[in-house]
Amino acid sequence: MQKAFALLDQLQDGHAHSGEDIAARLGVTRAAIWNHVKRLQAEGVEIHAVSGKGYRLPGGYEFLNRHAIELAFAANTRRAIRTVHLDEVTDSTNQRLLDLANVEDIQGIAWLAEYQKRGRGRRGGTWLAPPGSGLCLSLGWRFDTPPASMSALSLVVGIAVVRALTRLGASDVTLKWPNDVYFDGRKLAGILIEMRSEFGGPCTVVIGIGINIALSADARARIDALATDVAAACGSAPSRNTAAAVIFDELVIVLQDFEHAGFDAYTDEWQRHDLLAGRRIRVEVPERIVSGIARGVGADGTLLVEHSGRTEAFLAGHIVMESDA
């Protein structure tokens, strides 16, 4: 995949370039260029073959730039995030931080990648992100005194993403318990939190966020779910570097507050964005399946479901909305 990124570098201006010229600049054959084009197209990158002119990438390609992201950080974020790592290709940004946590403190370490070979989602799923279509980022954080409502962390992170999207110009963004961000009934972003803790002691977390910025038609076809992007929510696609900085800004703010204030400080905000409230849903847990009406969330972030004449709290489970069934 690294060689394919060299091709993207040649096409990033959005103009047409002949296969012959690109091959000469990269020191490879025209056949190799053709193979890289096909590989990128298969990944969901929209590359056009222009008759008599060569290859063109509509809209160009904005590479992630660590310096640009750090320059766009708010002052509070600059103090909180001590290192930003940026890979061109990696297995998983979450995994990179989890591996690093075995040898050092990962507090305030951010990790991004242009492309993940094995991006992870909840319940063992895969997060698909064609090159240039979105953001794959993770942040390491340590809670020295984890709040009692620690199980609500993914909900608070979701609120940070909504705040970031609002700053970028989006409106009507909703949150699907426990870790999905939606716009217009379609999934826009996903959150994966992985924890390491000691009983009664500090808790280290790796917070992973995958967000669609601008999906091509080919990219949408690759994703096995109803998907949308920030371009739809905002009316146009923002800079990926700006979006990354804004997400880290809002993430740092909620993580700093959450350790001391817990989920209580965010319940009203969650309710304003709750996609499930009042809807008929199905909760799938290992031992059973429960159908009922979603009634918001509890003080600890559990999902409240009314069924069989009572309201039951769920700490985990796969949620299917009635309209999705």
Do the Cβ atoms of 227 and 187 come closer than 8 Å?
yes
Q: What pLDDT, on the 0 to 100 scale, is given for residue 131?
A: 86
Q: How far apart are CA 35 and CA 139, in angstroms?
A: 35
Rounded-to-integer distance, Cα 229 and Cα 129, Å: 11
| Separation of alpha carbons 153 and 73, rounded Å | 23
Give the contacts of 104 (CB within 8 A, at least 6 positions apart): none
User: Distance from first CA to last CA of the chain, Å, rounded?
Assistant: 37
Tell me phi and psi for residue 311, to 5 degrees. Answer: -115, 125
Which domains are assigned to the chain?
2-56 (1.10.10.10), 66-271 (3.30.930.10), 276-324 (2.30.30.100)
With beta carbons less than 8 A apart as the criterion, state whether 84 and 112 touch.
yes
Q: Please report the beta strands in 91-235, taking only residues with DSSP state E, as ranges in sequence order.
A: 109-116, 134-143, 173-176, 180-183, 186-197, 203-212
Rounded Cα–Cα distance for residues 274 and 296 (Å): 7
204 within 8 A of 142, measured Cβ to Cβ = yes
pLDDT along the chain (325 residues), means of 10: 84 91 91 90 86 88 96 98 96 95 96 82 61 94 92 97 98 96 95 84 93 86 80 96 98 96 95 97 94 96 97 95 67
Q: Which residues lie closer than 8 Å to 280 by C-beta, 6 or more apart?
A: 291, 292, 293, 294, 321, 322
* Dihedral sign from CA coordinates of 166, 170, 174, 177: negative
Q: What is the pLDDT of residue 325?
A: 44
Q: Is the pTM of this model over 0.95?
A: no
User: What does the angle CA 18 – CA 23 – CA 24 come to, to the nearest 5 degrees?
Assistant: 100
